[in-house]
Amino acid sequence: MFWRKWRIAKALVDVKLLSAGDGKCKAQFTVAEEHLNVGGFLHGGFTTTVIDCLSTYALMTHKTDPPPGVSVDLHVTFLKAAFPGETVTVDAKTIRTGKNLVFLAVELTKNDGKDIVARGQHTKYLGSSFRQ
């Protein structure tokens, strides 16, 4: 996959891509020991990395063919813990692309979408050379 060359992607080796296209990306992973914090549930840093990377993958499938850009703002709201053995689904989508900025949203759910684990909002700068 195209993101395997990024070093940070090694953290995502257990995250399986389900679909990608039209500015959206869907993936899934089972919470494992390496994803846990000292409290024994899904680590916030891992969750944030998933949000950062998966929203970027969604962006890269957008019809305007933008570059991956650089983060200018990343906001995560943690809503419910996920524990070892639970399956987490990640839905990332491109909300809006502008001349220089793009806005993305990500939701992590468990229990077939019944429980929201976290929500993320990601703003990226695409550079002044990018124009729609």
Q: For the domain that residue 108 is a member of, what is the CATH number?
A: 3.10.129.10
**Within its chain, how far is the Cα of 121 from the centroid?**
10
The 10 Å Cβ neighbour count of residue 37 is 13
- pLDDT in 10s for each residue of the chain, 132 residues: 444 555 666 778 899 999 999 999 999 999 999 999 999 999 999 999 999 999 999 999 998 877 888 999 999 999 999 999 999 999 999 999 988 999 999 999 999 999 999 999 999 999 865 555
66 within a domain of the structure (yes/no): yes
pTM of the full structure: 0.89
The boundaries of the domain holding residue 24 are 16-125
44 within a domain of the structure (yes/no): yes
Number of domains in the chain: 1
Q: Determine the Cα–Cα distance for residues 118 and 63; give it in Å rounded to an integer.
A: 27
11 within a domain of the structure (yes/no): no
Q: Determine the Cα–Cα distance for residues 15 and 130; give it in Å rounded to an integer.
A: 30
29 within a domain of the structure (yes/no): yes
